[in-house]
Amino acid sequence: MKFFIDTADTDQIRAAAAIGVLDGVNTNPSLIAKSGRPFKDVIVEICELVDGPVSAEVTATETEAMLDEAREYASWADNVIIKLPLIPEGLRACKTLSDEGVGTNVTLCFSANQALLAARAGATYISPFIGRLDDLGHEGMDVIAEIVTAYDNYPEIDTEVLVASIRHPRHVTDAALIGADVATVPPSVIDKMFKHPMTDIGLEKFLADWEDVPGAS
């Protein structure tokens, strides 16, 4: 499974890239706003930091306006992926961009039916929001399983399932076990994925034992 980081903070992106676990970056208007910087400046810098896809989200809600924004964003860097809302206007834009060879990430997906529509429109990625479904008392991971199974039934579908709204490391594990293609993970969750008490205990013991090796210090 590939890992995208869910942030527009270039320091966090740079740190994740340095570890070697970063395949792409997911941004949205809320994350860009938190950066306090111009949208284009942030996207261009992120694209220079990573080789993989960088999602830049349109804010228009009409198809032609979405396409105008999308084409502008796509001109900034070769690895820009256009993020579109899962509404009829967004899927019309997705189909046009797909025909033009522009990568797309269809977002705000909450059902397998929506994911099937996005795949038919040529989406490069579909982003189901599992955390938000969990918040409403649904099993968000069940939707991921339905989408993965449905897509697997049709070899002609090459849309990748990008699990979004991840809240904790177990979400990542479950998504990988189901067979999702990508997890878009907040920096805080990536940090938690490294943690295990037995790792800390083992490292502490190894270092203590090393102090007893003649000449080690």
Q: Is 216 part of a structural domain of the chain?
A: no
Q: How many domains does the chain have?
A: 1
Q: Is the dihedral of CA 59, 63, 65, 69 positive or negative?
A: positive
Pairwise CA distance, residues 94 & 120, whole Å: 10
Structure tokens at 42: 């942030």
Residue 217 pLDDT: 63
Mean pLDDT of 204-210: 83
Our answer to whether residue 192 is catalytic in this structure is: no
Mean pLDDT of 68-92: 98
Catalytic residue among 2, 83, 192, 195: 83
> Alpha carbon of 163 to those of 60, 118, 203, 213: distances in Å?
24, 15, 32, 47
pTM confidence score: 0.91
Does pLDDT of 201 surpass 90?
Answer: no
β-pairing, 24-26 vs 80-85, is unpaired
Range of the domain at 88: 2-210
Full 3-state SS string of 88-133: HHHHHHHHHHHHCCCCEEEEEECCHHHHHHHHHCCCCEEEEEHHHH
CATH of the domain at 204: 3.20.20.70
Q: Is 151 part of a structural domain of the chain?
A: yes
Q: Is 23 part of a structural domain of the chain?
A: yes
Mean pLDDT of 59-77: 97
Contact by Cβ (8 Å): 64, 36 = no
Q: Is 192 part of a structural domain of the chain?
A: yes
Q: Is 217 part of a structural domain of the chain?
A: no
